[in-house]
Amino acid sequence: MKISSYIKSLLAGLGLWLFFGLILMYGSNNSNYTIIFSAFLACISVCGSLVVKHWLMPVLVEEQNSFRFLTRSISIILVVSILILAFNILCIGFLPGLNVKSMPLFSRSFYTILFLEIIILSFSAFIEMREHQLKSLRENYELKQIALEKEVESKNQELNLLKSQIQPHFLFNSLNTIYGQALKKSDATASTILELSELLDYILYCTQKESVALETEVKQIERLIQLEKIRFNDTLEVSFDYPETADSNISVPPMLFLPFVENAFKHGKQEKNKLKCSFSLRLENGAICFRSKNRSGEAQESDSGIGLKNIRRRLDLLYGQNYSLNLGYAEGYYLAELVIPKTRVV
């Protein structure tokens, strides 16, 4: 529990009373004067410190007015000087047997007493300045923490919004596939619904997590590819290469690679009644590298839907500058390459 300012002032006063009393005892033959004058100096010191704290220092630290600080400092010194002189005169007039010669050596020198009082008040000012600096540092730190927490909360909310936008995107495309099969009364409709239900389970529940195992994301890519195979029937030529012996403890943000796969199918251009797509995932030099390749159709990078814009924003929020995403065209193919840091499952 913190000691109140009143108790601190009382303890400081008692300490100063003892300090001045020990000094005044040297060369003093009048114990009454020693006790009374040391108590007076202690009171002057404590009251002066409070005046410095509440009246003098605010002018310097809050108003930053050097002129007013100087004039108030001189005023405090003058008041302390007058009080010390007046009290000594009263003591000589009212205490029996007390005169200048019988006074302690310390109290005979007005300038010595005044200098000591100035030292005490200056020390009080230094302590107050130091406390103000520490308070400012604490407040700045707390404000930065609050701002950081708000920024993190804002990013989390934005990430959740991006995920919620991506989910209907996959659902819409998959339902289109099932709708087309239903119109044709295809026997593959049931298996397509089963694959879609598994994918929806992942979208609805796993995407609420900050990260999932890499092998879990790989399974969803395979599931989406299987859905597209059903959709395109024999007109799809697709491959997906990934290390089957990869470390199972590696994690990635959910739904990070799936939009690239879906984007390739959505914007891919058929050639000789064949849509050619290839995907690969590699672990290289402490990073995860995902690549997609498909015959180029319309401008995929300027996708007007959810697509790549959301992916870019998610990557910025998740990794800052610690990732690379390269998109472009080469020899009639659209290429996408994403490199992110390799992260362990917590």
Cα distance between residue 88 and residue 81, in whole Å: 11
User: What's at 317, amino acid-wise?
Assistant: L
pLDDT digit string (tens) for 198-254? 877 777 777 678 888 888 889 989 988 888 887 777 788 899 998 776 566 888 888
pLDDT at 68 over 70: yes
Torsion, Cα of 314, 315, 321, 326 (10° steps): -130
Residue carrying structure tokens 């109140």: 4
CB neighbours of residue 104 within 10 Å: 19
Angstrom distances, CA of residue 119 to CA of 65, 105, 107, 114, 270: 22, 19, 16, 9, 90
Contact of 136 with 143, CB cutoff 8 Å: no
The chain-wide mean pLDDT, for the chain, equals 78
Strands 275-284 and 236-241: parallel
Cα distance between residue 255 and residue 54, in whole Å: 60
Torsion, Cα of 226, 228, 231, 237 (10° steps): -90
pLDDT at 35 over 80: yes
pTM (2 d.p.): 0.54
pLDDT at 146: 78
